[in-house]
Structure 1
Amino acid sequence: MGTEGDNVRVIAGRYRLEARIGRGGMGVVWRAADQLLGRQVAVKELCLDESLSADEGRTQRERSLREARAVAQLRHPHIIVVHDVVEDDERPYIVMELIVGGSLADRIATAGPVDAAEAARIGVDLLGALRHAHDAGVLHRDLKPANVLMEAATGRVVLTDFGIAQVAGATTLTENGAFVGSPEYTAPERMSGARTGPESDLWSLGALLCTALSGESPFRRDSLGGILHAVVVDEVRPPAQAEPLLPVVRGLLERDPDRRLGAVEAEGMLRAFRETGRTPHVGTGYTPTRRDVPTRGRVPAPSVPPAPPAGTGPSAPETPAAGPPRRHSARSMLVAAALVAAMAGAGLSAAALLMRDSGDGGDPPARSAPRGAARTTPSSAAPSTSGPALPTPTVTVTRSSGASPASRAVPEGYRLARDPGGFTLAVPEGFTREPQGERVFYLSPGSAFRLGIKIAAPRSGGPLAVMRRSAAGGPSTNPGYRDGRVTATTRGTDPAALWEFSWDGFTRTEGARHTYDLCWEQDGRMYDVWVSAPVGRVAEAKRYFDVAVDSFEPS
């Protein structure tokens, strides 16, 4: 039992709590004296849910102690040292080294943003800490400036507060249906409830670097719903101050976790910047793997997407006149509001609804994007929605003549859209433009047909590898995924790949759908054009697809 007197409390018969030095969502931090070894320490008193039953409270304590002991096994110069884990009066405590100095958040608040060299130093130290933790099967899950300590005497960067960390193979204290972490620094795949892995911590690091450089998270908004919308849907816009480290920041803030920049490569790029003053671009040796729990092997790094083309924005295309009012913002914010209810304990994964309703519409959710044009021959019949895989499609790719897009004949029933995203293509009359994050969609009335476009940097392995990786993730991104087939082809002399598949749609009302997706590489860029439609209307969808890819040109 703890003893108390003269405002001093001793726990576990050893640690005298002297002054409260911090407080967070997971507990109170005290400066304390270790009376056995005669040293100053920090003691974190973990908060417990008082509404739980005795059995539930006991289970919560056991889980928190088990996780704390796992973190205590970590030994790294940039991870807080955990000296002891104790229980006193049925309450768990974590005894840690005492760092004299404030957090990175304190430093930013008092002295302003740091320069690129200091941000690179902080990033290198944190990446080393994260790699060590991930190799041990521990995720942090709440990486933010407030959880990074800066030792005053040495400038040492110390990652702390693994209070909501997840140990591989364990059900954690916080995994009870409630949202945990800081939304401005939480990866989109965690928002959706789809997965949490080492890549999620790396996204958080990307947001942290932006904050360190500019003084504010790029996802800060006036409301929780706004933050969720910014993380999951809006175009990611690093601050101007991030320009020297932009390849690293953009790589870490890649929404597709399988293409996110890995810790090893990010650390190498930041070290190169510290040595040369220049940040190299990502190499081409990356082969992504899918992980739902942390692995003990080091994580390779994907390619870094470049800054979006000049002029990219949400404004309507130049031609024709604007269609019906956009529904995206209101709809997305309503779904985000539902997520707030989930975070209050409703258990609803509303962020998943936000991602699907405002993003992919049943199309490949996060892939390398496109610029260029190609054509495929229509299938002779609608694909089946079950049974064996589709036969390998025959693909013929044509290249339009040298005439400019504006001078080419547009098929009857179509219009030529000059998109502010940096491309031109023919879309059916009545389709309206709806930018959704890193993609641009043209939707039919009622959204039965969804034509999507994305532009990105080349990826390792080229279009065929990109499509195969996307197909491998098809079951996790497209409910009821089936009959998938990836075929290598070319567009003129440019490499390309066609991915075709069926799936169940996002809702029962929507019903089964079929998707055609062509990805190709041209002039140092990668382009992706896809069309999804109800399975009973694939012939019409194939015509839309052929016209779109044939007429597509970068502007």
Structure 2
Amino acid sequence: MSEEPGHERVIAGRYRLLAPLGEGGMGTVWRARDEVLHREIAVKEVRAPAGLGGDDVQRMYARLEREAWAAARISNRNVVTVYDVATDEGRPWIVMELVRGLSLAEVLDAEGPMTPQRAAHIGAEVLAALRAAHEAGVLHRDVKPANVLIANDGRIVLTDFGIAMVEGSSALTMTGEVIGSPEFLAPERALGRTPGPESDLWSLGVLLYAAVEGHSPFRHDTPLSTLRAIVDEELPPPYRAGPLAPVIEGLLRKDPAQRLPAEQAEQDLRVIGAGGSPRADTVRAVPFPPTVAARPEPSPTPPMPLPGQPAPSGSGATTATRQDRDRRAGRVLVAGVVALALAVGGLTYALLNRGDGDGNGDRGAGASTPAETKDPTQNTGSGKSSPSPTPSESESEESSPPPQSVRVGLDGTRTDYAGPCPPPGARAPRFTATFTVGRLPAEVRYRWVTQDGSVLDGGWKTLSFPEGGGRTQRDAVTVTTEAGTGTFENEISVEVREPVRTTSESVPFSITCETETPTGGASPSPSDTESDTESDTDSG
């Protein structure tokens, strides 16, 4: 670094630092001028975490320099362009294009929560950047509003790949350190597991939630309690998200394998950003995460429920053999184990985000109830106000309305499939849920789940029963798998969270994937999914 009297600092004899643009735990971003090409640029000054040994510092700088060069190979209009990695006084300085505009964090601070349409547009552009990075083998690892720039010309740019990780390279973190902003970390990263592209998708889901709700979903008073909430707590419902809610909930599934695929998420975000909604009148063929069937073994105790979800319903399977099936609980995250892992890890944080709000949105968990459940307290298990309508003043004075009830019937067709996978739409297992409410108006919040805890069809969904309309509606899904061979067995049911908690009976199904080539020498291709979701009314 050189410095002429009366002038700004010059890095590597070429980049003159003019003014700081921002500062974080890993360094400072400067507005600078390239003295060779005579253009303004952005230069990130990287600083090692305090207390790191000299050898670790040099290894970190060398690794970051390699990874910054790798990030420079990402070619996408939504990714900030890396021009150079200059080494000055033994540490790297990342030279990038200068994007003139505001960060998403600054926009949210100034304007408050966004409309779902605007948030979806921004999310689609960020996701396009992430997909380009993932195709190049680069994980961002710190997707948050402060790292999304909204340029003056409307371009959306994902920046700050300074702590990115390149596929196959060593992790940037040192012993006992977590890189990134805690409230945007994925559960697997909070547990110290190896991140993947799905970890960036989780962070995008938190970003979208914060954009429409005004606060991130799991933020607590301390970083440790925030990480515990990320791992253990149920996602607080996004009340302002509108058509964006299924995308957010699909991205914020605890199990990385169950998160909404990037391609489908970007497609839905594009539709919402253009002012539309993903078609609600079409039955989606939801991918089923296969569990290889084993011989039934006696199970003296029921499976442990997932944290924040209802315990298994007393209805159980339809046959004794199904009830004896090995109930797999590999995805269960036990709160005590998580707390111990976090405490023993001695986690520190290189970056602490200043936040996008102070709401936590905790939500209580309740036990499951029979298929018809009455709740005189009207959703007292929620930490937020119920979206269910309240009685008018005159009604309250005269008499209390009858308690709300929800009945859920579940039917399955083609529940045992054998043939090439994925199953064609006309032959894949199909399930239809019939919802009947006790009184109008009502809004039913529900989701499709399998016995092993997998969540299907985008997570929580909502059916509206308006005043004067029918008390019965239906929803349907088909189940598919991309597996090549094997027999996969499971059961599917419907969980209702609002206005009361209840769970339908479960319906068993099996998918046997065969590799034989059908007659004619060509494998059948899956047929287009039909528009099967129904909405029926009755006079009752």
TM category (shorter chain) comes to 0.5 to 0.7
TM-fit CA distance, 1:69: 0.5
TM-fit CA distance, 1:2: 2.8
Matched, 1:496 2:509: yes
Aligned with 2:216: secondary structure?
Answer: coil
Q: 1:183 — aligned with what?
A: 182
Contact 1:463 1:495 in 2 (8 A): no
Contact 1:269 1:280 in 2 (8 A): no
Q: Distance between the aligned counterparts of 1:228 and 1:277, measured in 2?
A: 35
Matched, 1:335 2:340: yes
Contact 2:449 2:456 in 1 (8 A): no
Q: 1:157 — aligned with what?
A: 156
* Residue-by-residue CA offset, 1:351-385 (whole Å, 9 max, x unaligned): xxxxxxx9xxxxxxxxxxx9989xxxxxxxxxxxx
AA at the equivalent of 1:212:
A
Report matched runs for 1:412-427 at 5 Å: none
How many residues are aligned here?
364
Q: Distance between the aligned counterparts of 2:21 and 2:80, measured in 1?
A: 16
TM-fit CA distance, 1:342: 3.0
* Residue-by-residue CA offset, 1:189-229 (whole Å, 9 max, x unaligned): 11122331111100110110011111110111122232122
Higher relative contact order (CA 8 A, sep 6+): 2
* Residue-by-residue CA offset, 1:271-316 (whole Å, 9 max, x unaligned): 22234521336842747799xxxxxxxxxxxxxxxxxxxxx9889x
Structure 1: runs of 5 or more not aligned: 291-311, 319-327, 346-357, 359-369, 374-420, 424-437, 441-451, 473-484, 499-522, 525-555
Q: 1:230 — aligned with what?
A: 229
Contact 1:187 1:231 in 2 (8 A): yes
Q: Distance between the aligned counterparts of 1:454 and 1:329, measured in 2?
A: 14
* Residue-by-residue CA offset, 1:88-125 (whole Å, 9 max, x unaligned): 11121001111112210011011111111110110110
Q: 2:389 — aligned with what?
A: none
Is the alpha carbon distance of 1:313 and 1:62 closer, same or farther for their aligned partners in structure 2, counting shifts above 3 Å? closer
Q: Distance between the aligned counterparts of 2:90 and 2:188, measured in 1?
A: 35
* Residue-by-residue CA offset, 1:26-83 (whole Å, 9 max, x unaligned): 1111111111111111100110246455443332221111011011111211111111
Which is further off, 16-25 or 238-247? Answer: 238-247
TM-fit CA distance, 1:253: 0.8
TM-fit CA distance, 1:165: 0.7
- TM-score under structure 1 length normalisation: 0.57
Contact 1:83 1:95 in 2 (8 A): yes
Aligned with 1:210: secondary structure?
Answer: helix
Aligned with 1:44: secondary structure?
Answer: strand
Contact 1:64 1:172 in 2 (8 A): no
Q: 2:120 — aligned with what?
A: 120
TM-fit CA distance, 1:156: 1.3
Contact 1:43 1:96 in 2 (8 A): yes
Identity %: 42
Is the alpha carbon distance of 1:422 and 1:37 closer, same or farther for their aligned partners in structure 2, counting shifts above 3 Å? closer
Q: 1:12 — aligned with what?
A: 12
Contact 1:247 1:280 in 2 (8 A): no
Report matched runs for 1:248-259 at 5 Å: 248-259=247-258
Superposed CA RMSD = 4.5
TM-fit CA distance, 1:131: 0.6
Q: Distance between the aligned counterparts of 1:371 and 1:5, measured in 2?
A: 80
Contact 2:148 2:159 in 1 (8 A): yes
Is the alpha carbon distance of 1:90 and 1:371 closer, same or farther for their aligned partners in structure 2, counting shifts above 3 Å? farther
TM-fit CA distance, 1:241: 0.9
AA at the equivalent of 1:280:
R
Q: Distance between the aligned counterparts of 1:159 and 1:461, measured in 2?
A: 35
Matched, 1:103 2:103: yes
Aligned with 2:131: secondary structure?
Answer: helix
Q: 1:269 — aligned with what?
A: 268
AA at the equivalent of 1:343:
T
Report matched runs for 1:464-503 at 5 Å: 494-496=507-509
Contact 1:371 1:454 in 2 (8 A): no
TM-fit CA distance, 1:454: 4.8
AA at the equivalent of 1:273:
I
Q: 1:284 — aligned with what?
A: 285
Q: Distance between the aligned counterparts of 1:89 and 1:230, measured in 2?
A: 42
Contact 1:2 1:88 in 2 (8 A): no
Q: Distance between the aligned counterparts of 1:139 and 1:123, measured in 2?
A: 17
Structure 2: runs of 5 or more not aligned: 292-307, 315-332, 351-364, 366-407, 412-444, 459-475, 494-504, 512-531, 534-540
- TM-score under structure 2 length normalisation: 0.58
Is the alpha carbon distance of 1:41 and 1:255 closer, same or farther for their aligned partners in structure 2, counting shifts above 3 Å? same
AA at the equivalent of 2:509:
A
